[in-house]
């Protein structure tokens, strides 16, 4: 089995040098190119055609997201492994959408890098433990359904008694505009359009 | 025919006229002094209002300047931390990793110290990332307010507190400056709730529609007396008010002991 070829893109030369030092000690992998510019790398990839592209996410002239998209469009056979300082789920999600096969943090140790390169080179995905944790958390949160707050239920009771915004505002020591905001939120959460619909919803679910 | 006026009577009339004139003149004088005084008072009051308005304007301008400068500075420092220190530490760690490999063969007695050093550099990387994130989250600049708030909420480690964030964005993205300031405001309100409220539920609702931006942060915690000024200021609510004023918005802070706290922000879109 011939060694898998790697191309590195990072706007910091010292990071590239560090990666080269580590990867040179990992058997089965070989670095065939590097660039501190994503734009230049796009052209270089046409002639070098590596198995794996190791790229930074936050770069000045072109973001890793855009770069990955272009690479996957032009050279779909290249596997992209993102290497970043950031672990925010939104960034990771966008990189996944752009077509990466893996995402690891820059302070990742050698063992994890070996694992990531190994997985990615055989067509599997790899996400570091920090990244997986962030992704799982964001997924868990998005599953949560909306619920009415105590204050919102109190306001529904007042609406039931036919109190106007002014009266509700005075009773709760808030401005009328805030009452308006509450009303908007309540209608959205209950998926109703009118007071009648809202009260029907509230009675049916025994909220008030 | 001429009527003859006796001289004595004539003198008497003259005196009468003189008296009336004096009285009228006195009256006019008193009246004008009175009016003058009133007018002067009115003028003074008006001047005072003008001065007060100027002072308020000055204060708002100063606050605006401070907020603006602060955010710019944070953005710069966060950038420097990421691009400078962060990358340097990452590269250092990689070099040490490679060095460890060589030591294993030639100087195994130094392995422990090197491993320890690598661990410390790793901690440094984490620290820098955390500080930079606190200063200016990358996701806020790159993806905007809602993803940034989602990320912020996700990162809060609290088993006893259930946080729900709901966001409805019907209008196009806000400008970056508004997003950053709003992020700080929500962050402050949420941090207050997490640190002081002892709440089990926290609801954050954000709506951006044609009317503007409305944000409510509600908890079911212990609440506080809003009339107690020190507490009001100590809770960082003053910061919230200053920032919302900077965005030309209004903020309602409604709370009482045992009733939880509501922070409701409205920013009209112009």
Could you read off the pLDDT of A155-175 as tens digits, one per residue? 999 999 999 999 999 998 899
Which residues of chain B neighbour A106 with C-beta distances below 8 Å?
86-87, 90, 125
Contact: A178, B82; criterion CB under 8 Å: no
Q: What is the mean pLDDT of chain A?
A: 91
Mutation target for B interface from A178, A182, A183, A191: give the one with most B CBs within 10 A. Answer: A178
Which residues of chain B neighbour A110 with C-beta distances below 8 Å?
97, 100-101
Mean pLDDT in residue range A189-201: 90
pLDDT at A143: 59
pLDDT at B13: 60
CA distance A181 to A118: 53
Range from B45-49, B73-77, B84-88, B173-177 carrying the lowest mean pLDDT: B173-177
pLDDT at A191: 87
Q: Is the ipTM of this complex over 0.85?
A: no
Class of domain B144-268: alpha beta
Q: What is the mean pLDDT of chain B?
A: 86
Distance from CA of B194 to the nearest CA of A (A): 17
Q: Are strands B250-255 and B261-268 parallel, antiparallel or unpaired?
A: antiparallel
pLDDT at B15: 66
Q: Which residue of A has its CA nearest to B91?
A: A15
B187-212 confidence digits (pLDDT tens): 999 988 888 888 888 999 999 988 88
Question: Which residues, in sequence order, are bridge partners of residue B264?
Answer: B216, B252
pLDDT-based confidence at B7, cuts 50/70/90? low
pLDDT at A37: 95
Distance from CA of A110 to the nearest CA of B (A): 7
Q: Does B62 or B173 have the greater pLDDT score?
A: B62
**Interface subset of B 26-65, CB within 8 angstroms of A:** none
Range from A4-8, B154-158, B178-182, B264-268 carrying the lowest mean pLDDT: B154-158
Whether the CB-CB separation of A155 and B218 falls below 8 Å is answered with no
Which tokens is A37 given? 């510019």
pLDDT at B117: 93
pLDDT at A108: 84
pLDDT at B8: 60
Q: Is the pLDDT of residue B219 over 70?
A: yes
CA distance A24 to A22: 5
Cβ count within 10 A of residue B220: 21
Q: Is the pLDDT of residue B244 over 80?
A: yes
Q: Is the pLDDT of residue A144 over 80?
A: no
Which tokens is A135 given? 């992704």
* Residue B57: partners with Cβ closer than 8 Å, 6 or more residues away: none
Q: Is the pLDDT of residue B73 over 80?
A: yes
CA distance A29 to A52: 10
3-state percent helix, strand, coil for chain A, nearest multiple of 5: 55, 15, 30
Q: Does B238 or B189 have the greater pLDDT score?
A: B189
Mean pLDDT in residue range A106-127: 92
pLDDT at B20: 84
Contact: B254, A149; criterion CB under 8 Å: no
Burial B240-255 (b: 16+ CB within 10 A, else e): bbbbbbbbebbbbbbb
CA distances (Å), B19 to each of B6, B33, B65, B188, in order? 21, 21, 68, 77
Q: Is the pLDDT of residue A142 over 70?
A: no
Mutation target for B interface from A9, A88, A183: give the one with most B CBs within 10 A. Answer: A88
Distance from CA of B151 to the nearest CA of A (A): 7
Q: Give the dihedral of Cα atoms B169, B173, B179, B185; nearest 10 deg.
A: -20
A52-88 confidence digits (pLDDT tens): 999 999 898 899 999 999 999 999 999 999 999 888 8
Q: Which of B130, B143, B131 is nearest to B183 (CA)?
A: B143
pLDDT at B156: 85
Mean pLDDT in residue range A176-191: 91
pLDDT at A126: 96
pLDDT at B5: 58
pLDDT at B22: 86
Rg over alpha carbons for chain A, rounded to the nearest Å, is: 26
pLDDT-based confidence at B63, cuts 50/70/90? confident
Owner of token pair 């003008």: B50
CA distance A36 to A38: 7
pLDDT-based confidence at B6, cuts 50/70/90? low
Q: Is the pLDDT of residue A117 over 90?
A: yes
pLDDT at B9: 58
pLDDT at A86: 84
Mean pLDDT in residue range B249-267: 89
Domain architecture of chain A: domains with CATH: 4-142 (3.40.50.2300), 150-204 (1.10.10.10)
Q: Which residue of B has its CA nearest to A11?
A: B83
Mutation target for A interface from B78, B89, B94, B167: give the one with most A CBs within 10 A. Answer: B94
pLDDT at A4: 94
pLDDT-based confidence at A12, cuts 50/70/90? very high
Tell whether B97 is within 8 A of chain A (Cβ): yes
A21-62 confidence digits (pLDDT tens): 999 989 999 999 999 999 999 999 999 889 999 999 989 889
Q: Which of A87, A141, A147 sits opposite B153 (nearest CB)?
A: A141
Which residues of chain B neighbour A86 with C-beta distances below 8 Å?
129, 138-139
For residue B20, give the 3-state DSSP assignment. helix
């Amino acid at each position: 089995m011939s060694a898998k070829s790697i191309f590195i893109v990072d706007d910091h030369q010292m990071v590239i040098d560090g990666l080269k030092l580590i990867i040179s000690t990992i058997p089965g992998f070989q670095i065939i190119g590097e660039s501190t510019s994503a734009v230049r790398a796009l052209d270089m990839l046409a002639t070098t055609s590596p198995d794996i592209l190791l790229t930074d996410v936050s770069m000045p002239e072109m973001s890793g997201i855009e770069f990955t998209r272009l690479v996957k469009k032009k050279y779909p056979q290249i596997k992209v492994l993102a290497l970043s300082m950031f672990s925010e789920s939104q960034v990771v999600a966008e990189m996944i959408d752009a077509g990466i096969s893996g995402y690891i943090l820059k302070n990742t140790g050698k063992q994890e890098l070996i694992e990531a390169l190994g997985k990615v080179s055989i067509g599997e995905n790899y996400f570091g433990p920090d990244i997986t944790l962030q992704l799982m958390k964001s997924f868990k949160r998005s599953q949560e359904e909306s619920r009415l707050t105590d204050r919102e239920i109190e306001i529904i009771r007042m609406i039931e008694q036919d109190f106007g915004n002014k009266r509700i505002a005075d009773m709760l020591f808030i401005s009328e505009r805030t009452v308006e905001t509450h009303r908007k939120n309540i209608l959205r959460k209950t998926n109703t359009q009118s007071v009648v619909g809202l009260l029907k919803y509230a009675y049916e679910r025994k909220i008030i | 025919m001429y009527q003859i006026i006796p001289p004595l009577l004539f003198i008497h009339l003259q005196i009468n006229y003189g008296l009336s004139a004096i009285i009228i003149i006195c009256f006019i004088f008193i009246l004008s002094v009175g009016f003058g005084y009133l007018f002067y008072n009115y003028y003074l009051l008006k001047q005072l209002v003008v001065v007060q308005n100027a002072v308020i304007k000055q204060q708002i301008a100063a606050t605006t300047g401070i907020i603006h400068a602060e955010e710019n500075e944070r953005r710069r420092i966060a950038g420097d931390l990421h691009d400078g220190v962060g990358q340097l530490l990452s590269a250092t760690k990689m070099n040490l990793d490679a060095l460890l490999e060589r030591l294993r063969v030639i100087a195994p007695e130094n392995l422990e110290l090197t491993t320890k050093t690598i661990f410390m550099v790793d901690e440094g990387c984490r620290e820098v990332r955390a500080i930079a994130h606190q200063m200016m989250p990358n996701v806020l600049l790159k993806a905007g307010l809602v993803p940034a708030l989602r990320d912020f909420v996700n990162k809060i480690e609290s088993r006893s507190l259930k946080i729900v964030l709901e966001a409805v964005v019907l209008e196009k993205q806000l400008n970056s400056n508004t997003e950053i300031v709003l992020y700080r405001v929500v962050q402050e309100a949420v941090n207050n709730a997490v640190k002081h409220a002892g709440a089990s539920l926290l609801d954050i609702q954000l709506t951006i529609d044609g009317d503007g931006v409305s944000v409510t942060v509600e908890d079911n915690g212990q609440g506080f007396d809003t009339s107690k000024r020190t507490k009001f200021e100590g809770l960082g609510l003053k910061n919230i008010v200053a920032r919302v004023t900077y965005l030309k918005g209004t903020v309602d802070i409604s709370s009482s002991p045992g009733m939880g706290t509501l922070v409701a922000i409205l920013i009209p879109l112009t």
